[in-house]
Structure 1
Amino acid sequence: MKKIKQCLLLAVFMIPIGIFAQTTVTGNVTDQATGGPLPGVSIVVVGTSTGTTTDFDGYYTLTVDDDAVLQFSYIGYKTLDIPVTGPNLDIVMEEDRAQLDEVVVIGYGTTTVKDATGSLTAVTSEDFNKGAIVSTDQLLTGKAAGVRITSSGGAPDAAPNIRIRGGASLSANNSPLIVIDGVPIDNTNPAGVNNPFSLINPNDVDSFSILKDASAAAIYGSRASNGVIIITTKKGTSGGPKFNFSTNTSISTVSSKIDLMDGPTYTKFINEYHPTYSGLLGTANTDWQDAIYRAAVSSDHNFSARANLFNKVPTRFSFGYNNTEGLVKTNDYERYTASVKFTPTFFDDHLKIDINAKGISSEKNAVDEGGALGGAVNMDPTKPIYDNSPGNRFGGFYQNTILDDVDNPTRLLLDGQWNPLALLLQRTRPEKVQKILGNVEFDYKMHFLPELRAVLNLGLEASTADIEESFSDNSLATYKFDSSNNDINTNYVFNPGVNYRENQSITNQTMDAYLVYAKRYEEGFLTNFDVQGGYSYQNFRNDGNKEEYRYNDETGIRELQIDAQNPNNRYFNELNLQSFFGRTNLNLFDKYLVTVSFRADGSSLFSKDNRWGYFPAAALAWKVNEEDFLKDSQVINDLKLRLGWGKTGQQDITGAVGFYPSVPLFEAGSSTGQYLQGVALYSAKPFNEDLTWEKTTTYNAGIDFGLFANRLINGSFDVFYRETSDLLAKVPVAPGQGLTDSFVKNVGETESKGFEVILNATLLSNESTNLEFYSNVSYSRAEVTDLQDVSRISADGSGIPTGTGVNIGYHTVGYQPYSAWVFRQLYDTAGNPIHGAFADFNGDGITDNDDRYFKSLRPNWTFGFGFNFNYNKFDFSTSFRGQIGGQVYNSRRLTSGWIDKAVPNNSNSLSNVLDFYSGAADYNFVDIQGNIPFSDYFLEDATFLRCENIVLGYRLDDILKNTSMRVYGAVNNPFIITNYSGQDPENFNAIDNNFYPRPRSFTLGLSVDF
């Protein structure tokens, strides 16, 4: 008995030892495909909250019970449950293609790639363009089929023109809706901002979702007729703190200049063709393009921190600073950005809150691009830049002057071209913007019914802008002449100082409130379904004032121009959109997918009778790979067929504030036109009470495929057909039928069709080497099928430099929108153009407008491709993009490509011309009188292939503990292949005039994770 008691007592003491017997486990987690380490892998002891994450080298350490089971999980990889078998446990994780890139953000929710029924493209951070990136749109350029992004030039904040499938409208807005973290962005930019994407730090962006067809985009209704781009920013982490610091420095140079004559060549030209004016030549040899351009030095610095605050609040904070010099001197851009994101959960994960806040402060010095770029082309190359003579009153800059032979022979006058460098250095125009963009989203899963969720999203987009333009004391722009003073040494009256001011505030509010019910069934034909419905409110408010100063000849000073009816020079506009929407997704047998959506939009822009627009959509998809005959296929792993139909709307017909086209308004007349003193007369403003929604209907068919485990080949193919009716456009009004000569109305219809192909391939993949290729091709062709009362409408943006309001582009029935209306140039037997000779198509012996024909300006074909190559710690990537077809109007041949251009016109100054001797222009053009500006001689093929970037990087993982570094070098815009003879064929408006050249940038960068 005593022995039994001793044994029991020993057992009692041994029990705690057995219970608390633990082992410290260490190991390394690697990727099966590449053999590289996986940092940030979550490791949790099954059944407990105990866990850790791998460091940047993939290592971990964790103390656990001897019989513990560890769960290894990582986004994009298969989750593993591994029992502890000893103190060392190395794990190899396998990529899960079913999970990788699975979640795609769509309107008011998410879906998965395999369950998407609409035509959409996801572009993640791994796919982004790299190198000297200033604005967010540059991350996406050339990466998505059917998405054409063309910047207006090479300025730091050059405006992007984004078209998805060519756009759906004529005169109305053709840009896609941009949604950032659930907040739809206003189409109106803050004053002084050309590129709204420059107000978002590219380093914060995690992914783009591009909704292209109506079945995918119709949930956004009236703002989605041109597609939707959803931008999702980076989130925090549920693991330990992670930090990143990245920095890069770039040097940019002019990639292409205009082929003008230098001083000696120009002297030869004048002596040969215009010897009468040889006495006006100087002795200098000035490259005026070099004078205004510079080697621009830019830098970009970013810091971000991710953490799980209090083990409950995943958080990300970032700060960025960008300083970019433009290629044109004084064109400087500076930006500060800060963002914070919290994604906490409460009540056992029933309540999820997503809080986003982004702050941006930017300042740029805007330059007079027309004056500087145009002046550098026209300025006589035999004249010097500087004039340091004692009597110089122009700040040491050369400026040609002549005696006033007409009114006062002893007075000097400014003559001919103004010195383009002086125009840059003697003028400042700081344009400052402060902007905040934020939202908070509450997503509550009902305790009593977990399948039901209530979502409330509150968003704010607010900005202030300040602009002030001023001239220095010795600026050419400030010089005026005192007619009462005949002394040539003192006859200059100058008035420097402020010339223009603008202050603006924009406040946009968003509220989305909706319910979502989602249910999954383990048995039966209905695998799962979800239904949602809700209400959306958006209000856009733009309020500001402008102060314009004019020189007063009587007082000799600049004076503020004041409108008696608007003494504060104020402008104001407010637009309100309210909507109801719903969507249902059905999954039958996990093979057949059905999506149906509906949205009703009400806009304050229209009258009450036409206020509401209704936009339904439906889509079907068949996951063929889930059928028995393909389910076990080793070749075809993914095959899905899609059909979609839907309607979207358009009401954004102008970016101008103070524009209410369907409301009868009156405005006070001038104080000089009063019958009774002090009693204002009011006149009616033009309006159209019948104005209603522009409507677009889209049909789409597509196929998604993946071969050989989705790794070797995957991609998609889509075809689409689109009709737009009730087109909103500004058209002429017959005399006596309105209060103006032109106004906006619903005028007609267009149709467009095309296809898109995406093809990606993994050409090589093993433990040390990986080679991936991607490509996309798209074709889109539109046609104007009907216009009420007119056969053509003049196209905005197609003005040519022959006079105010002279356009070359038109929207014409039976032709593609934005087509050039031109004469057919005739050529001699040697292939040289015959001056002033055009084809007489109707044979009446006269070449007039009846002999002009239409030629499409914009390309139908666009493409992009590239590859990513990794070898051990080296990475190498490059991307290309381009277009086939389209035309560009070479305005430089029009303005500077004819012989008599050099001859002074009412001045005593010569003008430079294109280098005839090098073939940059044709000797046959003596002048540009008559129909010559409308000759198709000036249209050139806009086909090009541009190398977007080349990047070479190397990863350093063993220099500092728990630190991973990557150094890289990049070249952006290294070369372009084209037959275009001008400066750059890539021009959205297809008019190459005073073009700000795109930079060629060389970048060195460093990224550190710790």
Structure 2
Amino acid sequence: MYKQLTMLVLALLFSAAIWAQNRISGLVTDASLLPLAGATISLKNGQALTTTDSSGRFSVTLNRGEVIQVSYTGMISRTITIAAETSLSIALQPSAVNLDDVVVVGYGATKKSDLTGSVATIKADELKNAKVGTATSALQGLAAGVFVTTGSVKPGGDASVVIRGSGSLRAGNSPLYVVDGIPVEGGLQDLSPGDIQSIEVLKDASSAAIYGSRGSNGVILVTTRQGSKGKSRITLNLNGGFQKMMNKQKLMNAQQYYQLASRAIPDYSWTSEELRYLSRGLSTDWQDAITQDGKYSNYNLGISGGSETVKHFLGADFYDQQGTIKNSSFRKLTLRYNMDAQTNSWLKTGLRFNIIESALKNINEEDDSGYGTMFSAISSQPTAPVYLDNGDYFDGFLNTKANPVAIVDLLDKVTKKSRAVGSVYFEIEPVKGLKIRSDNGGELEFFNVNSYEDGRMGQHYPDGGHAVKFNGKKRYMQSENTATYMFDVNSIHRFTILGGFSASKYTYESTTADSKNLSPVLGYDNLGGAQNHGPNGSYASASTLTSFYGRLNYNLDDRYLFTVTMRQDGSSRFAPGKQWGFFPSAAIAWRISKEAFMEEQDLFSELKLRASIGRLGNQNIGDYAYAATISQGGEWSDYVFGGNLATGSVQNTISNPNLTWEKANQLDLGLDFGMLKNRIAGTIDVYYKKTTDLLWLVPLPTESGFDNSLTNIGQINNKGIEFSLTTININTKHFSWRTSGNFSFNDNKIAELYNGKTDVNKALFVGRHMSTYYTLQADGIWQADELAKAAVYNAQPGDRKVKDLNNDGVINGDDRAFSGISVPKYYGSFTNTFRYKGVELIAFFTYAGGHLINNSLNRYLNSFNTWGNMSEEYYNGYWTPARPSNRYPAPRIGSPYSNGDGTNANFQKGDYLRLRNIELAYQFPASSFVRKISSSGMRVYASVQNAVTWTRFTGFDVESSDNTNPYPNARSFIAGLSINF
């Protein structure tokens, strides 16, 4: 009886235990919903239960109330108490730093903990802060020391990047871009952000010296997405929205313009159309007439998968943007295929292939200075109607400007580009640790710019129509061959030795056909039917680069790290005897946190001190710049022979057989730290960069017969400090808060020019920033009680006052003074990411300051002129005897310095803080709905790009580099869906 009772009790207890257990299934993803294969599921006591499969899924049997821990390398572990649910959706957040992350460096990769140089890593997830725009513009604010300027916000426009300050006067300051091992020109404009796996920015000499003559401005390495073994994964990202023009200029209406012009010039000549328009009480808002709400959409598909031997990735991306200026647009289709195959135990092969097709329509802002679409719109008089009564476009504009609406209606300008970039590699491992690799590839690009300007667009454009066809072809080929040997001695001394040889060739050719007076029916497709032809032309050039390079990495017991790099380049861009340059570097790092005396403390989980020194080069001078060139035609080569005009040739540039590289010598000191188990992590770098042998056009004496000669001169110094910090502020089961930010400060100085000169044309000054303003100093407005003194300077009350700094009674160039700099002294960004269960809020801010912007629009809008409109603010605030303004001059013809030219009157502070992106997203749990569509994760989001900007600048955009012929920036409202299968 006792035995039976005991068995009954045990059976009941066993049944209760079974009843209390749940079969739990789960999905583990990163913050972007990408499944994490190999994540560890363990009990709180450390006992491992299982790992996730290739789809990020797992299944375990657990009791209610048990606590599990989900962990993954580089992520913050999650602790979860099992309740009644049977399905879990677990998103892991990245830690502030992951020392085991693999970082791509030139011709190889290394763990972040083993870096000796200054390298910033940007993951694909961080690029989502910029939905509209290129991958280049998406870099803004993501890395300390990397300053991104909005070159143009037009559809298809790209940004410019400067790393650690400008160091060249003429040879460019853009970094070298390398995508999957192939150098590319023009930034990352053609690269789909959805195809990017990571971006590394090589900032110091140690990290960039492996690129030698092309590394002086830093190097940006891009690695695209690769395949992975296991079940095929499909990622689909869809987003789209609309854009609204920012900072529309407030201008006078027709009645205000009529009153002002009539008051200033009583005999002002009005056209009959304008008088009729005014009599009807009408006014034209030219900005509204040519702009619209822009539209944007982007569709990105990625398929990755493979086996133990072959891995592949296929990506397709379609980008479509309709601009805020009517009839302007950009479309781009990108196809990418990446494959890696382990053919056998000693042979590995791979393929990288990318095809891009793009079309840019009706953008002429930069090419048509003074007559661009937006400039015409803000300067055209509001008294002018868009159309005449007979339906023709009004063409009675002052100063022969074009009709803005006619431009957007009749201009037919299309830029088409077809580009293929690819490479194939073979890698053998004949013995353990030795890898020999040959990587061969290049790019081929065809592009054409077809333009037809209808004569009805305005007086500026020729009657009868004007068509131009410009066709070009670029071809780049390279072969990179490396041998890498890795070995260790007693697991204490670890060595990596790299040696390599590369050769590359770049060719370019173009043709131009120009015709006038031809039918608008066929436009640029009927050049043969034109009455006038020319000027026509063609051009071709080529350059080659041959290089030998090597690198030694030595790791002593994970505490002391050493790197020595050297490269020798031979470039055809320099004269014989000057073609070879040598670029060495060395670096050392001390992982203090690995020392025995750090074992007893819990504050620092990582502490590393770095130092590097080296030399980099710059050969960006174009082809044949060292040689004398000859041109045909022109006033100096035309002559009369036998009573007829003949065309000859004449030398137009002088040779310089001593022309050589620009050289950038750089010293960097850095500190990497991680605190509180890497919940706080950051980097501090200080650097000094000295650029010598600057490439510059030095003026020549008149008797030489030449204007100038390209010569190596002078020295520019850049020094600065960079700081980046990431903190995991809160990380609980349901809520997390992460903050990351960076700050950069750069001080630029010209240390030397040439021949002992302290300045060049009062534009470049020894001891000053290379972007220094040197101008006359505006000093308000001459008032009536200063009449006698104003007369000394040929001025009247109401004219702009300029300081006579040397008190000689004359205003001239001797009264100029330094008025600030045009580039920011400091810049950076900060991001806060909040997550509550499946809800995510991201706020991304960028900022810059310490500089002035010459708001060139104000020279037209805030002073009286007889050729176009002015601002409403000027109308309400210009000087009159009854309203003695001290800001805006009186509307008077002949008033000296009225528009502020040559003075600092139009300078405005460029300091700004911009909420560049704010995004609200929801990550769906692994619910029955998600499983029903066989998805491994789904995320929906809404974002606003360029949401708010705090600045005193009044132009179209504080970040734009062009304020005269601007394409206005826009605020974008976007919704999107990311889904994985």
Q: Give the whole-Å Cα distance in 2 for the aligned partners of 1:241 and 1:846.
A: 78
Contact 2:515 2:534 in 1 (8 A): no
> Closer, same or farther in 2 for the Cα pair 1:826/1:77, shift >3 Å?
closer
Q: Which runs of 5+ in 2 are unaligned?
A: 1-21, 42-49, 62-69, 78-85, 366-370, 520-526, 787-796, 879-886
The one-letter code sitting in structure 1 at the alignment partner of 2:354 is K
Residue in structure 1 matched with residue 884 of structure 2 by the alignment: none
Contact 2:301 2:316 in 1 (8 A): yes
- 1:372-383 equivalence runs, <5 A: 372-383=373-384
Q: Give the whole-Å Cα distance in 2 for the aligned partners of 1:313 and 1:103.
A: 21
Contact 1:42 1:239 in 2 (8 A): no
Q: Which moved more, 1:89-98 or 1:257-266?
A: 89-98
Contact 1:624 1:640 in 2 (8 A): yes
Residue in structure 2 matched with residue 815 of structure 1 by the alignment: 768
The one-letter code sitting in structure 2 at the alignment partner of 1:294 is Q
Q: Does residue 986 of the first structure (1) align with residue 921 of the second (2)?
A: no
> Closer, same or farther in 2 for the Cα pair 1:560/1:571, shift >3 Å?
farther
| Aligned mate of 2:552, from 571, 575, 584 | 584
Aligned residues: 886
1:599-627 CA deviation, whole Å, 9 max, x = no partner? 11111011111111111101110000001
| Aligned mate of 1:513, from 437, 458, 481 | 481
| Aligned mate of 1:845, from 809, 827, 836 | 809
Shift of 1:630: 1.0
Q: Does residue 729 of the first structure (1) align with residue 696 of the second (2)?
A: yes
Contact 1:784 1:815 in 2 (8 A): yes
> Closer, same or farther in 2 for the Cα pair 1:937/1:960, shift >3 Å?
same
1:304-363 CA deviation, whole Å, 9 max, x = no partner? 11111x552111101111110111111111111100111221222x33333111100000
| Aligned mate of 2:206, from 209, 212, 215 | 215
Residue in structure 1 matched with residue 191 of structure 2 by the alignment: 200
| Aligned mate of 1:466, from 448, 457, 462 | 448
Q: Give the whole-Å Cα distance in 1 for the aligned partners of 2:877 and 2:490.
A: 75
* Identity across matched positions, percent: 27
Contact 1:898 1:926 in 2 (8 A): no
Shift of 1:220: 0.4
Q: Give the whole-Å Cα distance in 2 for the aligned partners of 1:202 and 1:552.
A: 42
Q: Does residue 236 of the first structure (1) align with residue 227 of the second (2)?
A: yes
Residue in structure 1 matched with residue 930 of structure 2 by the alignment: 960
Q: Give the whole-Å Cα distance in 1 for the aligned partners of 2:143 and 2:94.
A: 24
| Aligned mate of 1:785, from 747, 751, 760 | 751
Q: Give the whole-Å Cα distance in 1 for the aligned partners of 2:532 and 2:197.
A: 47
Q: Give the whole-Å Cα distance in 1 for the aligned partners of 2:58 and 2:343.
A: 31
Shift of 1:710: 0.7
| Aligned mate of 2:362, from 345, 359, 366 | 366
> Closer, same or farther in 2 for the Cα pair 1:501/1:862, shift >3 Å?
same
Q: Give the whole-Å Cα distance in 2 for the aligned partners of 1:273 and 1:52.
A: 82
Residue in structure 2 matched with residue 318 of structure 1 by the alignment: 315
Residue in structure 2 matched with residue 399 of structure 1 by the alignment: 395
Report the 3-state secondary structure (helix = DSSP H, G, I; strand = E; otherwise coil) of the residue aligned with 1:329: coil
Q: Which moved more, 1:676-685 or 1:838-847?
A: 676-685
- 1:381-420 equivalence runs, <5 A: 381-389=382-390, 392=391, 394=392, 397-400=393-396, 416-420=400-404
Contact 1:345 1:351 in 2 (8 A): yes
| Aligned mate of 1:450, from 432, 442, 466 | 432
Residue in structure 1 matched with residue 330 of structure 2 by the alignment: 333
| Aligned mate of 1:916, from 856, 866, 874 | 874
Report the 3-state secondary structure (helix = DSSP H, G, I; strand = E; otherwise coil) of the residue aligned with 2:155: coil
1:2-48 CA deviation, whole Å, 9 max, x = no partner? xxxxxxxxxxxxxxxxxxxxxxx98645669999995433899xxxx
Q: Give the whole-Å Cα distance in 2 for the aligned partners of 1:530 and 1:862.
A: 37
Shift of 1:184: 1.2
- 1:628-667 equivalence runs, <5 A: 628-654=596-622, 659-667=623-631
| Aligned mate of 1:1004, from 957, 962, 975 | 975
1:646-681 CA deviation, whole Å, 9 max, x = no partner? 100111025xxxx41212344455795364789974
> Closer, same or farther in 2 for the Cα pair 1:918/1:205, shift >3 Å?
farther
Residue in structure 2 matched with residue 600 of structure 1 by the alignment: 568
Shift of 1:766: 1.4
Shift of 1:863: 1.4
The one-letter code sitting in structure 2 at the alignment partner of 1:197 is L
| Aligned mate of 2:291, from 270, 293, 306 | 293
Contact 1:495 1:556 in 2 (8 A): no
Q: Give the whole-Å Cα distance in 2 for the aligned partners of 1:168 and 1:185.
A: 21
Contact 1:34 1:770 in 2 (8 A): no
Residue in structure 1 matched with residue 122 of structure 2 by the alignment: 123
Shift of 1:141: 0.9
- 1:696-845 equivalence runs, <5 A: 696-711=664-679, 713-737=680-704, 739-789=705-755, 791=757, 810-827=763-780, 835-845=799-809
The one-letter code sitting in structure 2 at the alignment partner of 1:811 is L
Residue in structure 2 matched with residue 880 of structure 1 by the alignment: 845
- 1:551-570 equivalence runs, <5 A: 551=517, 558-559=530-531, 561-562=533-534, 569-570=537-538
Residue in structure 2 matched with residue 18 of structure 1 by the alignment: none
Residue in structure 1 matched with residue 344 of structure 2 by the alignment: 347
Shift of 1:869: 1.3
Q: Give the whole-Å Cα distance in 1 for the aligned partners of 2:683 and 2:214.
A: 26
Root-mean-square deviation (CA), in Å?
3.5
Shift of 1:475: 4.5
> Closer, same or farther in 2 for the Cα pair 1:742/1:366, shift >3 Å?
farther
> Closer, same or farther in 2 for the Cα pair 1:327/1:77, shift >3 Å?
closer
Q: Give the whole-Å Cα distance in 2 for the aligned partners of 1:761 and 1:596.
A: 33
Report the 3-state secondary structure (helix = DSSP H, G, I; strand = E; otherwise coil) of the residue aligned with 2:808: coil
The one-letter code sitting in structure 2 at the alignment partner of 1:688 is N
Contact 1:665 1:685 in 2 (8 A): yes
Q: Give the whole-Å Cα distance in 2 for the aligned partners of 1:529 and 1:110.
A: 14
Q: Give the whole-Å Cα distance in 2 for the aligned partners of 1:948 and 1:54.
A: 37
Residue in structure 2 matched with residue 8 of structure 1 by the alignment: none
> Closer, same or farther in 2 for the Cα pair 1:341/1:112, shift >3 Å?
same
Contact 2:854 2:906 in 1 (8 A): yes
Q: Give the whole-Å Cα distance in 2 for the aligned partners of 1:208 and 1:166.
A: 20
Q: Give the whole-Å Cα distance in 2 for the aligned partners of 1:432 and 1:784.
A: 41
Q: Give the whole-Å Cα distance in 2 for the aligned partners of 1:928 and 1:128.
A: 52
Q: Give the whole-Å Cα distance in 2 for the aligned partners of 1:834 and 1:415.
A: 25
Q: Give the whole-Å Cα distance in 2 for the aligned partners of 1:206 and 1:667.
A: 48
Contact 1:131 1:1003 in 2 (8 A): no
Residue in structure 1 matched with residue 524 of structure 2 by the alignment: none
Q: Give the whole-Å Cα distance in 1 for the aligned partners of 2:89 and 2:408.
A: 62
The one-letter code sitting in structure 2 at the alignment partner of 1:878 is A
Residue in structure 2 matched with residue 109 of structure 1 by the alignment: 108
Q: Give the whole-Å Cα distance in 2 for the aligned partners of 1:632 and 1:97.
A: 22
Contact 2:136 2:160 in 1 (8 A): no
Contact 1:859 1:884 in 2 (8 A): yes
The one-letter code sitting in structure 2 at the alignment partner of 1:818 is S
The one-letter code sitting in structure 2 at the alignment partner of 1:974 is A
Q: Give the whole-Å Cα distance in 2 for the aligned partners of 1:474 and 1:223.
A: 47
Shift of 1:562: 4.7
> Closer, same or farther in 2 for the Cα pair 1:208/1:919, shift >3 Å?
farther
> Closer, same or farther in 2 for the Cα pair 1:97/1:238, shift >3 Å?
farther
The one-letter code sitting in structure 2 at the alignment partner of 1:788 is Y
Q: Give the whole-Å Cα distance in 1 for the aligned partners of 2:478 and 2:156.
A: 27
